[in-house]
A and B are shown apart, each in its own frame.
Chain A
Amino acid sequence: MKTPALRLPAAVADRVSVAFLGSLAAVAVAAPLLNLAVPESSPLHLSSYAVGLIGKYLCYATLALAVDFIWGYCGILSLGHAAFFSLGGYAMGMYLMRRIGARGVYGNPDLPDFMVFLNWTELPWFWYGFDRFWFALVMVALVPGALAFVFGWLAFRSRVTGVYLSIITQALTYALMLAFFRNDMGFGGNNGFTDFKDILGFDLQSDATRSALLAATAVALGASYWVCRAVLGSRTGRVLRAIRDAESRTRFLGYRVQDYKLWVFVLSAVLAGVAGALYVPQVGIINPSEFEPINSIEVVIWVAVGGRGTLWGAAAGAVLVNYAKTWFTGALPDVWLYALGAMFVGATLFLPRGLAGLLPVRSRDA
């Protein structure tokens, strides 16, 4: 046996993982290089627009990974993961809004523009602390995680499963959307947050910052992958697959199924929140439409197209479908929804294992 030059943790030392993490690392290094170091005149130059797009795709890939982790391995079909993604995005958005300070249209150093517009005179209590980056980061994980905990505790304890669970996750994201649309919630109403200036003092419009955000997203995706693999590679992972395939039998063996579902649901929500937090500074806006029920359904389509129960396939599916979306909305905007539907139906009928199923590699843990 050859000794690898680089020792990867056992959870991600298999060939598929090495290929996946290797491509991520390549993107994280190559995209900034081609954007920053290659002159614009060169055909190899990568536009700033493309850097932003790739960064956005990687956020979606992380979200898809979070959904696949619970759907593909534990049978929990969440149709509300855009809610956790958006909450993470809002937490980051609050930090970015506080960073604007006196640079806003109204020049108020203490209040974001939309609050001045609403004639508010004081910062609401739930905005305290968001001027600090570390606090925002904690909230990025804590808020989606806590919501998932409460929701999951109620749902899994009462043994809500299958399509019923999917429906109430839709209701969850819909309810949040309605709430965030309200001006008096204190999150900017239907306009949400935008006009961000900087993150940690780095100009959000600069190419270097955008490249750094792309690289950070690639790292977050790789780390999420590693965390999911570590769980799936442990005995816990085998219990999760047992739950997916024969829930009551697993319970009969003495496993508290509701606890297992709860903790993976919370972990998945946190990963979705992190994805949302990286998304907002790269697209420059967050508003309540991110909570729309259709968004969560789209995520499930990315996973189904890419290959449920593979993690890397879900991430690849997110990138491919969104690349197609970018192309369609540019060339044939009216056709996009039909194309999306066709992809889903096609994958369901002809590729039950998704695009990942086309590759000769067989993940042992399917």
Chain B
Amino acid sequence: MTADPRRGDPRPGDAGAAANRRDAWRGKREAAARRQPSVLTGDVLYLQQVTVSFDGFKALDDLTLHVDPGELLCVIGPNGAGKTTMMDVVTGKTRPDAGRVFFGNQINLLTMSEPEIAQAGIGRKFQKPTVFDFLTVFENLELALAGEKSFWRTFFARLTSRDRERIDEALETTGLASKRGSPAGTLAHGQKQWLEIGMLLMQEPKLLLVDEPVAGMTPQETERTGELLLSLAGRHSVVVVEHDMEFVRSIARRVAVLHEGRVLAEGGMDAVQSDPRVIEVYLGA
């Protein structure tokens, strides 16, 4: 990780810079609060001073976070830190009490409904996989294709060669090519999770939000999932929420540690892991 020339503020990336980091980050946040989230930034997603309270309890407390194009960002934090709430805010499920959320340079997500946000290019994978058990893997992907979804259009819909290519591509990416004709109900737990990621890909999202992808997976499945998420970064921006440290260590480029609704630390995995405050609230516990 190197400093981002577009920002003009330091982006610390190694353990040695850990001491400066929090101050720098605070400075950046103040700068961010002043500037318009606009052409100046290349962010795919930008949350600015977002607060969400539930009956006075702040699930998100003045949270500021950004996602770069094509990056894989891991968000970690203990249970109740606000990770899922953050995803709810981005996908329009929860409206924040304060703050701003921008997608790309122009799109204000706070004015949009859930389907509109999905349409705009944000895909979300929930913790519990739901695939259509009685349809084949191929058909699951077919139904997830972006495009016309009305009754009469789907009746006359035929797969174009481009559609087929995209489905084949998703089958390759998720390693399910050999299962294309199998009913999704016959897949193993991990394969269902991959299929669900594949279904997200069919909607051509710019940004993928993935909530606890490796919960309940075998070590082999976990490893494979890591490879899959890494292969998605680049073409998509990916935000992974996870509290399996080992897993995060194996895939992370940049990590944000959430605690009590705020970013406690941010940076490379090693830097974050050696941060005393992180150790105190999370790792050392």
Contacts A235-B143, A241-B135, A254-B118; is A249 near B130 (CB within 8 Å)?
yes
Q: Known A-B contacts: A235-B155, A245-B134, A260-B151. Give 6 more (CB < 8 A).
A: A234-B157, A236-B151, A246-B132, A249-B130, A254-B118, A256-B149
The answer on a CB contact under 8 Å between B143 and A239 is: yes
One digit per residue, 1 when the CB lies within 8 angstroms of any chain A CB and 0 when it does not, for chain B 133-172 equals 1110001001110000111001111000000000000000
Q: Determine if B284 is an interface residue (Cβ-Cβ < 8 Å).
A: no
- Do A238 and B135 have beta carbons less than 8 Å apart? yes
Q: List 22 A-B contacts (CB under 8 A).
A: A231-B155, A235-B142, A236-B151, A238-B142, A238-B143, A239-B154, A241-B132, A241-B134, A241-B135, A242-B135, A245-B132, A245-B135, A246-B132, A249-B130, A250-B132, A253-B143, A254-B118, A254-B119, A255-B143, A256-B150, A259-B150, A260-B151
A246 near B149: Cβ-Cβ < 8 Å: no
Give the A-B contact count at a CB cut-off of 8 A.
56
Contact residues in B for A244 (Cβ distance below 8 Å):
134
Q: Which of B144, B154, B156 has the most CB of A within 10 A?
A: B154
Q: How large is the interface on A (under 10, 10 to 19, 20 to 34, 35 or more residues)?
A: 20 to 34
Chain A residue nearest to B133 in the complex (CB): A245
Contacts of B135 in A (CB 8 A): 238, 241-242, 245
Q: Which of A62-113 contact B (CB under 8 A)?
A: none
Task: Pick the contact of B151: A249, A250, A259, A366 (CB < 8 A).
Answer: A259
Interface size class of B (residues with CB under 8 A): 20 to 34
- CB of A263 closer than 8 Å to a CB of B: yes
Tell me, yes or no, whether B115 is within 8 Å of chain A by CB: yes
How far, in angstroms, from A366 to B183 measured CA to CA in the complex?
11
What string of 1s and 0s marks CB contacts (under 8 Å) between A310-353 and chain B? 00000000000000000000000000000000000000000000
B residues near A, CB below 8 A?
Answer: 115, 118-119, 130, 132-135, 139, 142-144, 149-151, 154-157, 199
Q: Given the known A-B contacts A256-B150, A259-B150, are A242 and B143 also in contact in the complex, defined by CB atoms under 8 Å?
A: yes
| Shortest distance from the beta carbon of B203 to any chain A beta carbon, whole Å | 8
The list of the 7 closest CB pairs from A to B, nearest first, reads A236-B155, A235-B154, A249-B130, A235-B157, A236-B154, A254-B149, A242-B132
A244 CA / B132 CA spacing, docked (Å): 9
Given A241-B134, A245-B132, A253 contacting B144 (CB threshold 8 A): yes
> Given A242-B143, A254-B118, is A234 in contact with B132 using a C-beta cutoff of 8 Å?
no
Q: Given contacts A231-B155, A238-B139, are A249 and B132 in contact (CB under 8 A)?
A: yes
Q: Which residue of B lies closest to A244 (CB)?
A: B134
Taking CB atoms, residues of chain A closer than 8 Å to B118 are 254
State how many angstroms separate the Cβ of B130 from the closest Cβ of chain A. 5
Measured between beta carbons, the chain A residues less than 8 angstroms from B143 are: 235, 238-239, 242, 250, 253, 255
B118 to A, closest residue via Cβ? A254
Chain B residues contacting A239 (CB-CB under 8 Å) are 143, 154
A215-253 Cβ-contact flags toward B at 8 Å (1 or 0): 000000000000000010011101101101110011001
Most buried by B among A254, A260, A263: A254
- Measured between beta carbons, the chain A residues less than 8 angstroms from B199 are 253
Q: Using Cβ atoms and an 8 Å threshold, which residues of chain A touch B134?
A: 241, 244-245, 366
Complex CA distance for A61 and B156, rounded to whole angstroms:
28
Q: Give, as a whole number of angstroms, the nearest-CB distance from A298 to chain B.
A: 27
Most B CB within 10 A of own CB, among A253, A255, A256: A253
Q: Which residues of A contact B139 (CB under 8 A)?
A: 238
Contacts of A259 in B (CB 8 A): 150-151
A245 surroundings in chain B (CB, below 8 A): 132-135
- In this complex, what residue of B is CB-closest to A262? B151
Min C-beta distance of A157 to chain B, whole Å: 14
In the assembled complex, the CB of B206 is this many whole angstroms from the nearest CB of chain A, namely: 17
Q: Across the interface, do A255 and B132 meet the contact criterion of CB distance under 8 Å?
A: no
| Contacting residues, chain A, for B142 (C-beta < 8 A) | 235, 238
CB distance from A154 to the nearest CB of B (A): 18
CA distance A256 to B132 in the complex (A): 17
Chain B residues contacting A236 (CB-CB under 8 Å) are: 151, 154-155, 157
Nearest residue (CB) in B for A366 is: B134
Q: Please determine whether A234 and B150 come into contact, CB atoms closer than 8 angstroms.
A: no
Residues in B neighbouring A234, C-beta threshold 8 A: 154-157
Residues of A near B156 (CB, < 8 A) are: 234
Q: A249 to B144, alpha carbons, bound, how many Å?
A: 10
CB of B179 to closest CB in A, whole Å: 16
The answer to whether A254 and B151 touch across the interface, beta carbons within 8 angstroms, is: no
Q: What chain A residues lie within 8 Å of B144 (beta carbons)?
A: 253
* Bound CA span A260–B142, Å: 17
For window 236-286 of chain A, which residues contact chain B by CB distance below 8 Å?
A: 236, 238-239, 241-242, 244-246, 249-250, 253-256, 259-260, 263
- Complexed CA–CA distance, A249 and B192 (Å): 14
Q: Which residue of B lies closest to A258 (CB)?
A: B151
- Enumerate chain B residues within 8 angstroms of A246, measured Cβ to Cβ: 130, 132
Instruction: Determine how close the nearest CB of chain A comes to the CB of B136; give it in whole angstroms.
Output: 9
Among residues of B, the one whose C-beta sits closest to the C-beta of A255 is: B149
